[in-house]
Each structure stands twice: as C-alpha cells, then as structure tokens.
Amino acid sequence: MKQIYILFTILILFPYGKELDAQTIWTGPDLTFSKAGSVDWTLEDNQDRLTDNVWITRQNRKSIYNYKWWQDNFSVDASPEDLSYDFWNDDWDGIPSQTFTATGGTKGIKWALLDDTGSTTDWTGYNYGVLGDPANFYSFNNIIQIIEILEETTGDFSTISVTDDFTVTFNEDDYASPDIGDYIVGKKFGVWLVDDDVYLTLTINTWGSGGGGGAFSYTRSTDQTLSINDLELEKDLTLSPNPSSEFIKISNLKSKASYSVYNILGANIKSGSVSENETIDIRDLTEGVYFLKINNRNTIKFIKE
C-alpha cells in the first residue's frame, strides 16, 4: 500500500510525467505585432510566429486564430465556417469543412485576465490568472464573455463560473453573448501556449471591426533567452543609409511590416510599422549600435551616428 500511495502522490504532483517547474514564462522585451486589413493572412509576413506550434493571425471579419494548428492537423487553412464553429460550437455560420472538436477558438492557446489588466472598472472578487499556473486560463470564447460580465455588470464576481469552453455563468445564470471588438482593446492578457507550456503577457492595441479586413495589433512579451547575438541576420532585406544620423529605410519589403528597435543590451527602444520606401525616424536615438527587428524574425544591425 505504501508504494501505491507514493506512486499516486507522484502522479498528482507531476501529472503526465511533467515537472511543475517545466513551464517557461517569457519576460523579454515587449514586441508589437500588427496585421493590416485585407491582406493575405496566410503569408508569413502577416503572422506572428511565436513558436513552431503557434502562428497567430486573423482572417477578414473573424477572430484571431492559430494558423499553424490547422496546417498541422489538416494541411490546409481553416475555412471561415471552421473558425465560427470552433469559437461558437455551432454551425450557424455554415457547415465546417473539417471534422474536429470545437474548443472556443485559438487552438492550442488559453487566455487569462491579469490583475494589472488596465480596466477602469472594479473587478473585486474575480479570480485573476497568474503566469505559470494553468488555473483561470480559459478559451478565447470564455474570456470574452468574462470581460463582458466584468465590464457591464456589478455584483459578487467570485460567483463567475466557467462550465465549459463555451459557457460562463454569473450568479448561476447563463450570461453573455461575445462581441470581441467591444471588450478586448486595451486589455492585458496572460497567454498560455499549451503544447509549448509557455506563458506570456499580451495587450490588444487595435482591432478592426466590420469592414476592417481583419486588422489587429498587440504588444506581447518575448523569450528572454533569445539574445540579440542568437538572431540570424536577414540577407534579403537591406537597411540604408547605415550608419545614419536621422532616418533609415528598409528595402525589399513585400508588404507592410512591424518593426522593433533594440539597443545593444536587448531593450526595446521603439516599435511601429513600415512599408517599402518609408523611412524610420531615429533622430531621438543616442549614438551607438542598434538592431532593427522586422516582423519578429528578421534582424539587421545599424549604427546611429
């Protein structure tokens, strides 16, 4: 009996053979990703490729989703009907093109509200998420409903309960009909990449609704273990003039891209977006060596004179 008890205890403490401290929390410099409206979301330039398992993008008029999950499981992109079914668990928007279990959106990604989310309303009693702990991380559908409850009602928020990936109750009554754009802009989320067991913070900056063509942007934390020296310099993109004292320009961009400027210590100095033949103002930088990172992938070193 003693051996059985010890084995049971080990399985409780370390489920599926995974140690409790195996997860990773990204605390590296913030990076801003943006996708313009009405662009091809299947292109790498319009995806935020966080890991080998998670590539975030957005179709026109739909929610954000993990493009890579659909490629890995079906070798094709999700149809609009697939994404609606996955988010709602209902085929009101049309019959899905694939057979799968709906999970409330953003396959492989769970979401939580953090205690510094930035809301101007009082959410006393709500159980916030904590990076590194899977408790209080939910489906994207759930988190939209929860925000609506917190922002639009009053009461004892400790009574909020998540029944499944699609049902949130408040004071024992079913509640909420998610309307994404009205609630997520400005909110700071905890994000759990389930397969990678990675946690990060993410704040939605903009969200194109209606005819916005699937535009959105957010700022997120990065993997602090990836130093500037580990980044591979892109050969196809060129930066000029280099050195420069006022403006720099990136050539060979195929579409509008997000960029971040890092100093020699790896700190994010400024971020934005740029297109072919547009310039980036560096007059506010002090003299020294910097790194310009394009679309969270391609990095080019430059010198500010």
Phi then psi for residue 73, to 5 deg, are -95, -30
Averaged pLDDT for residues 163-190: 79
Report which residue type is found at 109: I
**pLDDT score of 10:** 30
Q: Please report whether residue 230 resides in a domain.
A: no
Answer yes or no: do 214 and 265 share one domain: no
Check whether 297 has a pLDDT greater than 90: no
Distance from C-alpha of 153 to C-alpha of 139, rounded to nearest angstrom = 21
Reported as a pLDDT band with limits 50, 70 and 90, residue 126 is very high
Averaged pLDDT for residues 96-100: 97
Helix (H, G, I), strand (E, B) or coil at 240: strand
Answer yes or no: do 90 and 156 share one domain: yes
**pLDDT score of 176:** 54
Check whether 76 has a pLDDT greater than 50: yes
Reported as a pLDDT band with limits 50, 70 and 90, residue 14 is very low
Check whether 231 has a pLDDT greater than 70: no
Q: Please report whether residue 15 resides in a domain.
A: no
Reported as a pLDDT band with limits 50, 70 and 90, residue 230 is very low
Give the structural domain span for 189: 24-222
Tell which of 155, 189, 222 closes a domain.
Answer: 222
Q: Please report whether residue 4 resides in a domain.
A: no
Q: Out of 78-87, 135-144, 164-173, which region has the weakest mean confidence (pLDDT)?
A: 164-173
Entry pTM: 0.70
What domain count does the chain have? 2
Per-residue CA distances from 18 to 11, 24, 26, 74, 96 (Å): 9, 13, 19, 28, 35
Answer yes or no: do 81 and 149 share one domain: yes
Distance from C-alpha of 253 to C-alpha of 258, rounded to nearest angstrom = 11
Averaged pLDDT for residues 194-206: 95
Check whether 3 has a pLDDT greater than 50: no
Q: Alpha helix (H) ranges present in the chain?
A: 2-13, 67-74, 80-88, 140-152, 181-184
Answer yes or no: do 136 and 207 share one domain: yes
Helix (H, G, I), strand (E, B) or coil at 196: coil
103: how many CB neighbours lie within 10 A of its CB? 20
For the segment 234-275, what is each residue's pLDDT rounded down to a tens digit? Answer: 446 788 899 999 999 988 877 788 888 887 666 778 888 888
Q: Please report whether residue 2 resides in a domain.
A: no
Q: Please report whether residue 70 resides in a domain.
A: yes
Tell which of 189, 222, 255 closes a domain.
Answer: 222
Sheet holding 288-294, edge to edge: 268-274, 257-263, 288-294, 298-304
Answer yes or no: do 194 and 255 share one domain: no
Q: Please report whether residue 270 resides in a domain.
A: yes
**pLDDT score of 226:** 64
